[in-house]
Amino acid sequence: MRYENMVPGIFRFRPNRFIAHVEIDGAEAVCHVKNTGRCRELLTPGALVWCQKSSNSNRKTQYDLIAVHKGERLINMDSQAPNIAAGEWLRSGGLGPIEDLKAETVHGDSRFDFSFTKDGHRCFLEVKGVTLEDDGICAFPDAPTERGVKHLRGLTAAAREGYGAYVLFVIQMSDVKYLHSNDTTDPAFGAALREAAANGVTVLAMDCAVTENEMIIRLPVMVKL
């Protein structure tokens, strides 16, 4: 997962979910935020950020806001990056040998990020990007997610039907302690995650090596249910 044309900036404010005002080369630029989550603990006034400059002159915004420094930690907050990184990880053998890898597969009433065949069994995998962190402890989600609950219930149903089922939390930073469900923010997601794990869904979390230019899935992280 690599970016080109990256430039540093200083975050100023975010008037809505889709745009942020960032100081770049001494001038204020309106940037597209590639994450519609709240990210309030990340986008604080004065934070050092990294933005990707677009080569499309017809765009309304010239830059995409990709990553932010939180203290000494660099966090990728591009919501599209986890799926791309997960695809690279799967193709490189992250889950061992697999075949017939496909993106965006429908099963039942759910659309999962990936499907593949492993050890002769058809499998489904859903990816969740994680940016919420406090003192090295990560949590998901950072806001209530009915869609996330629906995905977990779909994976649970698939596991009961005999399919392989995985949820992969891609932690968009490195060197964290563990991940837990954010039951305070979304108790329904936490309950659905525990039910999924109890019914054969494999729950995985991986951290990432993050620089201003790339994000690559790195090492397993403990999940506390």
Q: Tell me where in the chain the CATH 3.40.1350.60 domain(s) lie.
A: 81-224
- Residue 94 is classified by DSSP as B
pLDDT for res 21 = 97
pLDDT for res 74 = 97
Q: Which residue pairs, CB below 8 angstroms and at least 24 apart, start in 148-152? A: 148/186, 148/189, 148/192, 149/186, 149/188, 149/189, 149/192, 150/109, 150/110, 151/110, 151/112, 151/126, 152/126, 152/189, 152/192, 152/193, 152/195, 152/196, 152/201
Query: Are 61 and 32 contacting, i.e. CB atoms less than 8 angstroms apart?
Result: yes
Q: Tell me where in the chain the CATH 2.40.50.580 domain(s) lie.
A: 6-76
pLDDT for res 40 = 85
What is the C-alpha to C-alpha distance for residues 156 and 194, in angstroms, rounded to an integer? Answer: 10
Q: Which run of H or E residues covers position 118?
A: strand 110-118
pLDDT for res 130 = 97
The domain 81-224 is classified under which CATH number: 3.40.1350.60, 3.40.50.12280, 3.30.420.80, 3.30.2420.10? 3.40.1350.60
Kindly give the interhelix angle for 146-160 and 187-198, rounded to the nearest 10 degrees.
10
In the CATH hierarchy, which fold is given to the domain comprising 6-76? OB fold (Dihydrolipoamide Acetyltransferase, E2P) (2.40.50)
**Dihedral angle sign, alpha carbons of residues 187, 192, 198, 200:** negative
Quick one: how many helices (H) and strands (E) in the chain?
3, 16
What is the C-alpha to C-alpha distance for residues 190 and 70, in angstroms, rounded to an integer? Answer: 26
- CB within 8 Å of 175: residues ≥ 6 apart: 73, 136, 207
What parts of the chain have a pLDDT lower than 70?
none
pLDDT for res 155 = 98
